[in-house]
A = this chain, B = another copy of it.
Amino acid sequence: MLRTHTCGELNINSLGQTVTLCGWVQKSRDLGGTTFIDIRDRFGLTQLILNADTDAELREKARSLGREFVIKVTGKVLERTSKNPKIPTGDIEIAVEELDILNAAKIPPFLIEDETDGGEELRAKYRYLDLRRNPIRQNLMLRHRMGQEVRKYLDAQGFIEVETPVLIKSTPEGARDFVVPSRMNPGEFYALPQSPQTFKQLLMVSGFDRYFQIVKCFRDEDLRADRQPEFTQIDCELSFVEQEDILNIFEGLTRHLFSVVKGITLDTFPRMQYSDAMRLYGSDKPDVRFGMQFVELNDVVKGKNFAIFDNAELVVGINAKGCAGYTRKQVDELTDWLKRPQIGASGLVYCRYNTDGTLKSSVDKFYNEDELTNWAAAFEAEAGDLMLVLAGPADKVRKQLNELRLEMGGRLGLRDKDKFAPLWVVDFPLLEWDEENGRYHAMHHPFTSPKPEDIALLDTEPGSVRANAYDLVINGTEIGGGSIRIHEKTLQSLMFKHLGFSAEEAQKQFGFLLDAFEFGAPPHGGIAFGFDRLCSIFAGLDSIRDVIAFPKNNSGRDVMIDSPSTIAPEQMKELNIATTN
């Protein structure tokens, strides 16, 4: 090794030792003829000192060092006169006796410190420098730790990690595929997997019993902060289990991770039906770090000649505790915020429960104080609260109120990043109406099983068939989801039919799975966790970008390596393709 120690391990017990360290120059300063240099590596920071006792030539060399130079120094460990209790090496310094410059460095384009002055684009271009910063490197070390712990836990539970192929087959279901032209099979393409779904089910047919994989998946979708064209799943499947078993095992995994990685002990995770989540929070991934549940007011507010409420399918509101002091201007701003196209509310009705006990609403013309008292009762509001009410088509207004609830929760400090509120959402609908294509599509995917008691409804009321499907939600973010799968050919064929596949199409795309179900497929189910999202939640980040070493931007570009890029005409010729743009 070029070093005897890392920059994070020497302390008062090392006094007198002659050591060799390697690392980057964090900073360098001259104080009255003495040169202090902080040398940094992944493990920490150590102070070097060169003073009147040091060889003059060496001091000259030390003074020539710039930030981020890579150096190797040998010297003796001394006790510092001025100690720094904030760092583990703060009691000591190294009196430099030898100094090698292993590599010089240009001045970096932004500060390599916890708080940097670099903009997003600049940091993306020099990602390798941004990765030098502690906060980013800590995220990736956290991710490593989590991956190790996931594997340990699942291994101990009898899961086998099996790698499934990356070059697979394009299928019409789900998101858009990335494809790969095959040179050896002209005119044909592989697709990159959106998930290893069918392979993991085949592994159950093969009798693997418990499978997992931490695996890259790919979706050619338009991107936003929490989406990347390539992302990582903790992908799992189990045989001979029921939904309850899966929830318990993966609740166990999640609690294990919180315990060993963050030192947080979580209680048993609550479970909520999809229908309740929609009714009480307007979302299938409610943030239950705080209450502020929806209160439906149709029975309370209708019939008072307020046309907007009378004509609305649903009148529903939330109680913003302690917000009665909101000024008219603040409420107007909130109303404007709700009316933005992203949310699209048509207006906001409010009712203040003043601290003096009086009630004052924006619809006093239609509702007298007695009636507003009924509102307050419905909201279980107290003096000092602010009731916020929306009206309109049920689905739409719930979505809008969900946004408002999250906004108010944020304003009231109820969305603390250090608090973790997990939740299982269960009993999802099997099918979802696809307006654009005028047909139902699978809410999870076509392999999800309907609840046996609902199968009869498939023909008559497809939209009300419930699935054996579940999501794990933490702090309002979907972390994982899964289902008990169909394992019988007849039911799977029926499902494809309901999704608008002809028998021929189903056979062409998924024949291997339908065939497999005829050779002894066990009952099975599984779950997939978004590993990037899980890591970002653990790291307290809003975006998944900074738990990914080399992420792509919103145009799917890696600006550091400048990819994608054009390829040589000979490459295209060999692959039997041409560009048409």
Write the residues of chain A forming the contact surface with B, with a CB cutoff of 8 angstroms. Answer: 1-3, 6, 22, 24, 40-43, 68-70, 72, 102-106, 108, 126-129, 131-132, 137, 140-141, 143-144, 147-148, 151-152, 155, 160-170, 172, 176-192, 198-199, 202-203, 205-209, 216, 218, 220, 222, 229-230, 232, 239-242, 245, 487-488, 511-512, 515-523, 548-550, 552, 555-558, 560-568, 571-581
The prevalent SS among residues of A at the interface is loop
Q: How far is the CA of A177 from the CA of B167 in the complex (A)?
A: 13
A202 partner residues in chain B, CB cutoff 8 A? 127-128, 131, 550
A516 partner residues in chain B, CB cutoff 8 A? 128
Of B126, B168, B577, the contact of A561 (CB 8 Å cutoff)? B168
**A251 nearest CB across to chain B (Å):** 15
Can you list 9 residue pairs at the A/B interface with Cβ under 8 Å?
A1-B241, A1-B245, A2-B240, A42-B209, A108-B519, A143-B163, A168-B561, A170-B567, A512-B561
Q: Which 6 A-B pairs have the closest CB atoms?
A: A105-B520, A186-B581, A131-B206, A169-B563, A188-B564, A576-B581
Q: How far is the CA of A152 from the CA of B179 in the complex (A)?
A: 35
- Beyond A22-B522, A128-B519, A573-B580, 12 additional pairs, beta carbon < 8 A: A6-B209, A103-B520, A140-B160, A140-B208, A148-B161, A163-B232, A165-B550, A168-B563, A179-B181, A181-B181, A181-B577, A185-B557
Residue among A41, A163, A240, A241 facing the most chain B CB atoms (10 A cut-off): A163
Given the known inter-chain contacts A556-B184, A560-B512, A577-B579, please indicate yes or no for A199 contacting B519, CB distance below 8 A.
no
In the complex, are the beta carbons of A162 and B181 less than 8 A apart?
no
A190 partner residues in chain B, CB cutoff 8 A? 178, 563-564
A239 partner residues in chain B, CB cutoff 8 A? 22
In the complex, are the beta carbons of B163 and A167 less than 8 A apart?
no
- Residue of B whose beta carbon sits closest to that of A72: B240
A518 partner residues in chain B, CB cutoff 8 A? 105-106
- Residue of B whose beta carbon sits closest to that of A551: B165
Q: How far is the CA of A290 from the CA of B230 in the complex (A)?
A: 47
A166 partner residues in chain B, CB cutoff 8 A? 166, 192, 216, 218, 230
In the complex, are the beta carbons of B241 and A2 less than 8 A apart?
yes
**A170 nearest CB across to chain B (Å):** 5
- Residue of B whose beta carbon sits closest to that of A568: B172
Of B104, B165, B179, B515, the contact of A575 (CB 8 Å cutoff)? B179
**A253 nearest CB across to chain B (Å):** 16
In the complex, are the beta carbons of A70 and B208 less than 8 A apart?
no
**A28 nearest CB across to chain B (Å):** 14
In the complex, are the beta carbons of A203 and B561 less than 8 A apart?
no
**A35 nearest CB across to chain B (Å):** 19
- Residue of B whose beta carbon sits closest to that of A170: B567
In the complex, are the beta carbons of B522 and A103 less than 8 A apart?
yes
Of B70, B148, B566, the contact of A189 (CB 8 Å cutoff)? B566
A127 partner residues in chain B, CB cutoff 8 A? 202
In the complex, are the beta carbons of A571 and B144 less than 8 A apart?
no
Q: How far is the CA of A430 from the CA of B241 in the complex (A)?
A: 56
Given the known inter-chain contacts A164-B549, A170-B565, please indicate yes or no for A129 contacting B179, CB distance below 8 A.
no
